[in-house]
Structure 1
Amino acid sequence: MKARPTTTLAAATAVLTATALLAGCSSGGGQDSTGSASGPVTLEFWGWAPGYDQVVETFNRSHPGIKVTFGKTASGSKGGYTKMLTAAKAGNAPCLAQVGYETLPSFAAAGALTDVTKYTAEAKGQFADWTWRQVTIDGKTYGVPVDTAPMALFYRKDLFAKYGIDKPPATWEEYAADAATVHAADPSVYLGDFGNDAYNYAGLAWQAGARWFGTGGDTWQVSLGSDANKKVAGYWQDLLDRKLLKTDPSYDPSLYADLTDGKVLSDVNAVWNAPTLAASVKSGAGQWAVAPMPVWDAAKPVYGNDGGSATAVLKGCAHAKEAAEFATWMSTAADSVGDLIKVTGIYPAATSGLSNPALSQPDPFYGGQVIFDVFKAETAHVATDWQWGPTMTQTSTDLADGLGKAGTGGTTLPQVLADVQGRTVAGMKQQGLAVAG
């Protein structure tokens, strides 16, 4: 597959240099001129994913010279990122933070990251090139990749059979046909839900080659109005127009109630949704299964990616070397990766993690299926040239708002994309970035 070009953010960072000079965060122990501590140190780590606290405890038991304390925040899109950026600007940020790949460019543009290139150079070879590019901007590395997030179809086997669907839809054409079949059989039942999660929608766009951002020199391009984006929007708008999808908000109690009651039969979502679904729809244990995400062309299958995050080192960290050591351990140590697979539901970014025994375990909730086999097969067919923009916090907020309105008939998806395109370009220009689009 075509390699993703190196992201150029010189224009982004140059105009924000004055705000990038943030005070150091506090950590125990002294520091020499190389950034190494002269004694035991304490590192604070903020994040929200389940299982991260467990991993921290494991690290602390085996690394007496470094103590990591985990502080749970709201998820990034629900206020976690705002809290991190505010702390960085105030000079009291933690050394470590869970930051999604999509938001890392925004943190870089805000001057909220610490360059740990020299401390992570030896780790680079343990990761696929495209995942390492997610934490590298203008040749500087700001953290360590944790996971990727290939998408799949989570579905109720028994209810598919009840409504005459003998196998999960392999293509989006089949998905639309199955949606019509189910809803015709019972107007209160839907094949799937159209929620308001911007990054889930990004995964649908990613799959279709509907890029949102690009760079040329020091200029950004924004392309939410491209033909490929119109294709994706048109497909889902047609299903909405025909009332073939439920429109519960993403990850809302109403959605899990509908999934529990058999009113929504499937969910197109990322690998990390597996434990979330199991914890939220307990009564369906043993009846759920995982199938590949429907594709546009069965002869040339391409899949989407919804998420993936890094353990980033924030600006001002007094112990960057130790922070990088923890971040590398978290993503590569077998016991850490095993816990993250089982509890957090990650698909590892580290190549060594792909042989972790936890990926081969049957899952009782999914009828004993080894669900990670699905994601393993898909990974070779996930495009690696997707690029995130420098204002994703704003872009994702605007898109989520528009998706919610489109779901209730207040607007259309093509109009949402046009609005988000305009708002994104305006927001980038307001920050002083060179942008065309």
Structure 2
Amino acid sequence: MKARPVSMAAALAVVTAAALVAGCSSSSKGGSSAASGPVKLDFWGWAPGYDQVVAQFNKSHPDIQVTFDKTASGTKGGYTKMLTAAKAGNAPCLAQVGYETLPSFAAAGALEDVTKYASDAKSQFAEWTWNQVSVEGHTYGIPVDTAPMALMYRKDLFAKYGIDKPPATWDEYAADAAKVHQADPSVYLGDFGNDAYNYAGLAWQTGAKWFGTGNDQWQVSLNSADNQKVATYWQGLLDKKLLKTDPSYDPSLYKDMADGKILSDVNAVWDAPIIASSVKGGAGQWAVAPMPVWGAANPAYGNDGGSATAILKGCAHAKEATEFATWMSTDADSVSNLIKVTGIYPAATSGLSNPALSAPDAFYGNQVIYDVFKAEAPHVATSWQWGPTMTQTATDLGDGLGKAGTGGTTLPNVLADVQGKTVAGMKQQGLTVAGG
């Protein structure tokens, strides 16, 4: 039997989904609806600044009190913990869930349908971000942010190696990478890490697709011509040894940045505060420039991330949980904190005029770095679609990226391998898939 087509994920077609949460109730976490006193909600996540937002909310909402429990990041165990708790019937009401993973949570039956509570908030968000928290017309959370990508770079070291301005195109990036490495073989323009979602942003920029739906089936196209264009470009730089290959977000990466061995990073808006807090001694020497593009005449940029505050299955206080999630993404003070500490680019339209986006950043030489992301955002495609097995796809791709970085395989081969494994995994879940 064919899986029916869906707007964001074929998640709900998984036969075993309902069994996951049968009889689940998070009243032990969310508080009994008959209990006296304030409604109590638990919130699991890992992003810096979320605890401060919760404290802000609790101060102004005595009738709803939220406890933030910091978990490992989603890909490093946080998501597994959430899904395990949902299966056991003791999940928190609220959870930080990336857009890329929300379809997988839907497939697992781990989300609470809060459409009736959230519908009034829809007009406050960019339409494409609302689509990221909805499956087949049902809403399961509130968008928090988007993640346009840019080039974070050491302006003083660019000047040292004769780079007068940051590369505007990928051709210029390759030329600058060769120039730097020729001047000093121990120095690299950038790093090629093993983060699957950063790589997704590079594919997103090119107009490539990974997943789609049509004709009552999923399409998987990780190995398409557009995707091979991206792989061939980066493989060319790896073949010439023009990139460092420190693992993504590893201490070795930030040490090399601090030591002047890696001069730039192509990454999402939220990476700006991570670099600022992780690279010692670099304050005032870094700057942010637009992400290099394939064609200067018609620039397009990538997106690496974005997340929702999701309501997990069995939440006894879904209305109050949705109220908190909406407040977190739209309240001016909350959004200011998320911009300053978490490094978000707001999904709420009101957040785009938040004064925190106009504040100079001392680490980046007092540059108003969000001006770069504001200029890029209208040129980020909004049609990208995530698949229902992203945990597996991201793991397989991340492993392949790491092997390609050390010369164990090539990126074109990695894409072909991940394509096959993704299709097989989806079929194993009972989904109808085109391509192999």
TM-score, normalized by length of structure 2? 0.96
CA contact 1:28–1:40 (8 Å) conserved in 2: no
Give the superposition deviation at 1:324.
0.2
Give the superposition deviation at 1:19.
2.7
Q: Does 1:275 align with 2:277?
A: no
Q: Does 1:211 align with 2:214?
A: no
Give the superposition deviation at 1:38.
7.2
CA contact 2:8–2:103 (8 Å) conserved in 1: no
1:55-66 correspondence to structure 2 within 5 Å: 55-66=53-64
Q: Which amino acid aligns with 2:18?
A: T
Cα distance between partner residues in 1 of 2:116 and 2:216: 25
RMSD (Å), alpha carbons = 1.3
Secondary structure class of the residue paired with 2:113: coil
Cα distance between partner residues in 2 of 1:10 and 1:75: 22
Cα distance between partner residues in 2 of 1:130 and 1:154: 26
**For residue 141 of structure 1, what is the aligned residue in structure 2?**
139
Q: Which amino acid aligns with 1:411?
A: T
Q: Does 1:165 align with 2:198?
A: no
**Identical-pair percentage:** 80
Instruction: Identify the range of structure 1 (131-140 vs 216-225) with the bigger mean alpha-carbon deviation.
Output: 216-225
**For residue 255 of structure 1, what is the aligned residue in structure 2?**
253
1:65-214 correspondence to structure 2 within 5 Å: 65-214=63-212
**For residue 407 of structure 1, what is the aligned residue in structure 2?**
405
Q: Does 1:314 align with 2:299?
A: no
CA contact 2:286–2:365 (8 Å) conserved in 1: yes
Instruction: Identify the range of structure 1 (302-311 vs 9-18) with the bigger mean alpha-carbon deviation.
Output: 9-18
**For residue 6 of structure 1, what is the aligned residue in structure 2?**
7
Cα distance between partner residues in 2 of 1:55 and 1:147: 15
**For residue 367 of structure 2, what is the aligned residue in structure 1?**
369
1:251-400 correspondence to structure 2 within 5 Å: 251-400=249-398
**For residue 223 of structure 1, what is the aligned residue in structure 2?**
221
Cα distance between partner residues in 2 of 1:356 and 1:319: 30
Secondary structure class of the residue paired with 1:380: helix
Give the superposition deviation at 1:29.
4.4
Give the superposition deviation at 1:355.
0.6
Give the superposition deviation at 1:41.
1.0
Give the superposition deviation at 1:15.
4.9
**For residue 19 of structure 1, what is the aligned residue in structure 2?**
20
CA contact 1:305–1:382 (8 Å) conserved in 2: yes
Q: Which amino acid aligns with 1:422?
A: G
Cα distance between partner residues in 2 of 1:243 and 1:157: 23
Instruction: Identify the range of structure 1 (134-143 vs 213-222) with the bigger mean alpha-carbon deviation.
Output: 213-222
Q: Which amino acid aligns with 1:31?
A: S
Secondary structure class of the residue paired with 1:304: coil
**For residue 237 of structure 1, what is the aligned residue in structure 2?**
235
Q: Which amino acid aligns with 1:9?
A: A
CA contact 1:190–1:264 (8 Å) conserved in 2: yes
Distance 1:179 1:215, change over 3 A: same
Give the superposition deviation at 1:403.
0.3
Q: Which of residues 417, 420, 423 is equivalent to 2:421?
A: 423
How many corresponding residue pairs?
Answer: 429
Unaligned runs of 5+ in 2: 1-5
CA contact 1:22–1:90 (8 Å) conserved in 2: no
Cα distance between partner residues in 1 of 2:107 and 2:217: 14
Q: 4+ residue stretches of structure 1 with deviation over 3 A?
A: 27-30
Give the superposition deviation at 1:385.
0.4
Cα distance between partner residues in 2 of 1:55 and 1:86: 26
CA deviation profile, 1:292-329 (whole Å, cap 9, x unmatched): 00000000000000000000000000000000000000
Give the superposition deviation at 1:219.
1.4
Secondary structure class of the residue paired with 1:221: strand
CA contact 1:11–1:219 (8 Å) conserved in 2: no
Secondary structure class of the residue paired with 2:379: coil
Unaligned runs of 5+ in 1: none
Give the superposition deviation at 1:290.
0.1
Give the superposition deviation at 1:8.
5.0
Give the superposition deviation at 1:22.
4.7
Distance 1:402 1:22, change over 3 A: farther
Cα distance between partner residues in 2 of 1:108 and 1:357: 35
**For residue 3 of structure 2, what is the aligned residue in structure 1?**
none
CA contact 1:29–1:38 (8 Å) conserved in 2: no
Cα distance between partner residues in 2 of 1:369 and 1:172: 24
CA contact 2:10–2:431 (8 Å) conserved in 1: no
Cα distance between partner residues in 2 of 1:264 and 1:169: 15
Distance 1:154 1:401, change over 3 A: same
